[in-house]
């Protein structure tokens, strides 16, 4: 055989060997980008309990490696029937390890892992038997997917606030805070738990958990609101009690409220092209419009790479025109939220007056990455004059993966409004049929609460939650200091954990200061916390009190509060289950609590 022929045979033999090795590495074909398998990867992977065996498709990841990301192709928009019974979308993974801020630090920025992170789950470190932070679970094998039209901000973003510590009453007997009627934190946490994952600690705000639920507070016979006080022994510590401060706003019927002008400001950027974002937002708007009055009007503005006026002010009775405008919305492009906000407020301020309720309703995942004004401060500064003219704002969040909870919360607070998160069509019905349209009319603004404890009766106290609503004691009677708003029918609940002395006297005084919707000077009311309002046992307390305490305790545990480190969630579970009163939302909470306990471990006291 010639040397040239032998060389050719050697080359062909090497090629055949290489081909056999390649075929041996590929045991099954990957799905195409349009397959159902691809669509399932459009949202974050699910965190799984530590005891579960990883799926066969997962590969182990290095414990200290950074999660990798892969852009995912969004699924097609759903039909309305599909939204009515949505399949829960996978939630992002549990929060990464983070260093706690020192006690004097008020807040820190936190970014949760992105929806495309490879790590399927990490367990969080908690004193009292909970698993340690940062031990990575097996990473899910990723498919090669088509990139989205717009690269989203990587990861959900939350702002962490250091939980309130106990205060010695002799050193500071005043506790002052602004009311908060937001509920976004609870629905965000519910989405995580429904997908078998613990919510990141910074995502948990106690007051928003508690205020998600309805309580049987009697509406005031006169004035803007009434106050309901109650206390009972702690189920966790024999030396402590809990005190509940409940505020109920007056109820204004749909037929009695002022005419409303709603300006829907809709994010139609590329990041909104997912089943639980723009398609769900469109259905939510239709729910709101359907529940407006004949004297109400609606306008529609969108923003992506630029802004667009889709619908000029239109009577709410013209459903055909409004629905057609809503149905025309499609996603694509960047996210010029700042420019969109300016246009929406220009529309809203034209209708704002003492006789008309004018509100901007923002529907977005919060991912603002293009535009003249990017931060919440910049956007609100550019429209501050409009806010002073009486325009309120509702920030409605959708989706996961690049959700900007930090931005949504700031917009609502500075826009004199409220913040909701929509995780399902069911929640859309609750918010847009009941909460948004039913509480459009603000009945009191700049509402501040100050509790003055008597050092002779209360040795120490701490406010459970409201860290981001803290107000300096000296600013309680400064009417220039901004605070929260209460809409018609809204209720606000706050809980204190206290240590009492042996003295038998009033624990203190609860003062509420607020302005009328168009007023500049506030009026003040005082309510004594009498010994008769303190129950001898927890069983003697109302079911509303017991349920609110169970919800607050759960949130305090989930966020890793120092004072809750030794609390046992099995005690909380029994407390909640005994106070559901058959209400569907409360029953659902007990189910979520059971899932949280499972994720934490049966003996955990996180």
In tens, the pLDDT along 443-463 reads 899 999 999 999 999 999 999
Q: Please compute the mean of the pLDDT values over residues 179-200 and round it to a whole number.
A: 95
**What span, in angstroms and rounded, lies between the C-alpha atoms of 271 and 338?**
16
Nearest to 159 by CA among 423, 367, 410: 410
**What span, in angstroms and rounded, lies between the C-alpha atoms of 111 and 159?**
8
**What span, in angstroms and rounded, lies between the C-alpha atoms of 262 and 345?**
11
Topology alike, domains 167-252+443-604 and 260-440: no
Give how far Cα 234 sits from Cα of 47, 454, 492, Å. 33, 20, 21
Q: What is the pLDDT of residues 550-579, one digit of tens each?
A: 999 999 999 999 999 999 999 999 999 999
State the number of CA atoms in the 13 A half-sphere of 599 facing the CB.
27
pLDDT at 371 (0 to 100): 57
**Cβ contacts of residue 199 below 8 Å, gap of 6+?**
94, 95, 188, 189, 192, 193, 558
Dihedral of alpha carbons 253, 258, 259, 260, sign: negative
Nearest to 575 by CA among 566, 584, 586, 564: 586
Q: For residue 56, what pLDDT band results from cuts at 50, 70 and 90?
A: very low
Q: For residue 314, what pLDDT band results from cuts at 50, 70 and 90?
A: very high
3-state DSSP of 528-545: EECHHHECCCCCCCCHHH
Highest mean pLDDT among 9-18, 44-53, 137-146, 245-254: 245-254
Facing residues of 204 across strands? none
- Whether the pLDDT of residue 28 is over 80: the answer is no
Q: What is the pLDDT of residues 510-553, one digit of tens each?
A: 999 999 988 889 999 999 999 999 999 999 999 999 999 999 99
pLDDT at 351 (0 to 100): 80
321-341: buried (b, 16+ CB within 10 Å) or exposed (e) per residue? ebeebbeebebebbbbbbbbb
Enter the CATH code of domain 260-440: 3.40.50.410
**What span, in angstroms and rounded, lies between the C-alpha atoms of 598 and 412?**
34
pLDDT at 334 (0 to 100): 76
**What span, in angstroms and rounded, lies between the C-alpha atoms of 358 and 286?**
18
pLDDT at 338 (0 to 100): 77
Q: Which of residues 87 and 130 earns the better pLDDT score?
A: 87
Furthest-apart CA pair in the chain: how many Å? 112
- Whether the pLDDT of residue 103 is over 50: the answer is no
Give how far Cα 574 sits from Cα of 409, 568, 590, Å. 32, 11, 9
First to last CA, the chain: 78
Secondary structure percentages of the chain, helix, strand, coil, to 5: 30, 25, 45
- Whether the pLDDT of residue 139 is over 60: the answer is no
Q: Are 282 and 326 in contact (CB under 8 A)?
A: yes
Q: What is the pLDDT of residues 248-300, one digit of tens each?
A: 999 888 778 889 999 999 999 998 999 999 999 999 999 999 999 999 999 99
Structure tokens at 568: 């046992």
Average pLDDT, the chain: 78
Other CB atoms within a 10 A radius of the CB of residue 168 amount to: 13
Percent of the chain with pLDDT over 70: 71
Q: Are 604 and 597 in contact (CB under 8 A)?
A: yes
Q: Which of residues 199 and 136 earns the better pLDDT score?
A: 199
Nearest to 183 by CA among 484, 494, 435, 488: 435
Structure tokens at 107: 């807040």
Q: Are 162 and 205 in contact (CB under 8 A)?
A: no
Domain ranges of the chain: 167-252+443-604, 260-440
**Cβ contacts of residue 276 below 8 Å, gap of 6+?**
43, 86, 89, 398, 399, 400, 423
Q: Which of residues 122 and 323 earns the better pLDDT score?
A: 323
List, edge to edge, every strand of the sheet that includes 241-249: 167-168, 458-464, 491-500, 241-249, 225-233
CA dihedral 342, 348, 349, 355 (to 10 degrees): -160
**What span, in angstroms and rounded, lies between the C-alpha atoms of 64 and 512?**
50
- Whether the pLDDT of residue 61 is over 60: the answer is no
Q: Are 493 and 242 in contact (CB under 8 A)?
A: no
- Whether the pLDDT of residue 229 is over 70: the answer is yes
Q: What is the pLDDT of residues 127-136, one digit of tens each?
A: 223 333 333 3
Answer whether 0.85 is exceeded by the pTM: no
Q: What is the gyration radius of the CA atoms in the chain, in angstroms?
A: 26
CATH topology of domain 167-252+443-604: Immunoglobulin-like (2.60.40)
State the number of CA atoms in the 13 A half-sphere of 66 facing the CB.
4
Dihedral of alpha carbons 288, 363, 329, 372, sign: positive
Q: Which of residues 8 and 310 earns the better pLDDT score?
A: 310
- Whether the pLDDT of residue 413 is over 80: the answer is yes
Region label for 92, one of left (φ > 0), alpha (ψ between -120 and 50) or beta (otherwise)? beta
């Amino acid at each position: 055989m010639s040397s040239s022929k032998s060389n050719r045979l050697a080359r062909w033999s090497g090629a055949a060997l290489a081909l056999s090795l390649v075929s041996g590495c590929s045991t099954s074909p990957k799905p195409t980008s349009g397959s159902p398998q691809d669509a399932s990867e459009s949202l974050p992977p699910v965190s799984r309990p530590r005891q579960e065996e990883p799926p066969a498709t997962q590969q182990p990841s290095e414990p200290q490696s950074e999660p990798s990301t892969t852009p995912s192709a969004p699924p097609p928009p759903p039909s309305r029937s599909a939204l009515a019974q949505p399949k829960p979308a996978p939630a992002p993974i549990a929060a990464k390890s983070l260093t706690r801020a020192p006690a004097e630090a008020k807040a820190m920025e936190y970014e949760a892992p992105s929806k495309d992170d490879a790590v399927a789950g990490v367990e969080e470190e908690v004193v009292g038997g909970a698993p340690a932070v940062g031990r990575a679970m097996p990473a899910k094998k990723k498919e090669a997917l088509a990139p989205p039209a717009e690269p989203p901000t990587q990861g959900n973003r939350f702002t962490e606030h250091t939980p309130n510590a106990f205060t010695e009453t002799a050193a500071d007997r005043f506790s002052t805070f602004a009311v908060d009627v937001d509920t976004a934190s609870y629905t965000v946490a519910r989405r995580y738990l429904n997908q078998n994952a613990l919510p990141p600690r910074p995502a948990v705000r106690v007051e928003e958990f508690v205020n998600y639920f309805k309580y049987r507070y009697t509406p005031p016979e006169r004035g803007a609101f009434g106050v309901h006080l109650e206390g009972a022994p702690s189920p966790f510590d024999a030396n402590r009690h809990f005190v509940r401060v409940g505020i109920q706003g007056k109820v204004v019927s749909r037929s009695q409220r002022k005419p409303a002008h709603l300006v829907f400001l809709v994010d139609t950027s590329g990041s909104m092209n997912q089943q639980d974002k723009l398609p769900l937002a469109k259905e939510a708007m239709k729910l709101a419009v359907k529940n407006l009055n004949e004297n109400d009007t609606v306008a529609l503005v969108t923003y992506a790479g630029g802004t667009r006026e889709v619908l000029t002010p239109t009577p709410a009775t013209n459903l055909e025109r409004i629905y057609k405008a809503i149905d025309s919305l499609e996603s694509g492009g960047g996210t010029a939220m700042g420019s969109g906000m300016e246009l929406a407020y220009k529309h809203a301020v034209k209708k704002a007056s003492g006789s008309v309720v004018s509100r901007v309703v923002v529907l977005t995942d919060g991912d603002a990455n293009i535009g003249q004004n990017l931060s919440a401060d910049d956007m609100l500064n550019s429209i501050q004059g409009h806010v002073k003219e009486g325009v309120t704002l509702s920030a409605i969040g959708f989706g996961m993966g690049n959700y900007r909870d930090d931005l949504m919360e700031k917009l609502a607070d500075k826009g004199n409004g409220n913040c909701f998160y929509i995780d399902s069509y069911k929640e859309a019905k609750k918010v847009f049929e009941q909460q948004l349209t039913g509480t459009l009319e603000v009945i009191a603004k700049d509402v501040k609460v100050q509790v003055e404890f008597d050092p002779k009766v209360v040795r120490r106290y701490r406010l459970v939650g409201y860290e981001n609503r803290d107000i300096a004691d000296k600013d309680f009677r400064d009417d220039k200091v901004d605070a929260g708003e209460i809409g018609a029918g809204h209720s606000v609940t706050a809980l204190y954990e206290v240590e009492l002395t042996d003295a038998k006297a009033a624990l203190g005084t609860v003062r509420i200061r607020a302005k009328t919707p168009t007023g500049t000077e506030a009026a003040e009311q005082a309510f004594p916390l009498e010994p008769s309002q303190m129950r001898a046992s927890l069983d003697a307390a109302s079911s509303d009190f017991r349920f609110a305490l169970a919800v607050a305790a759960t949130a305090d545990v989930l966020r890793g509060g120092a004072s809750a480190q030794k609390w046992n969630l099995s005690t909380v579970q029994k407390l909640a289950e005994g106070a559901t009163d058959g209400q569907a939302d409360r029953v659902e909470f007990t189910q979520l609590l059971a899932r949280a306990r499972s994720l934490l471990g049966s003996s955990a006291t996180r």
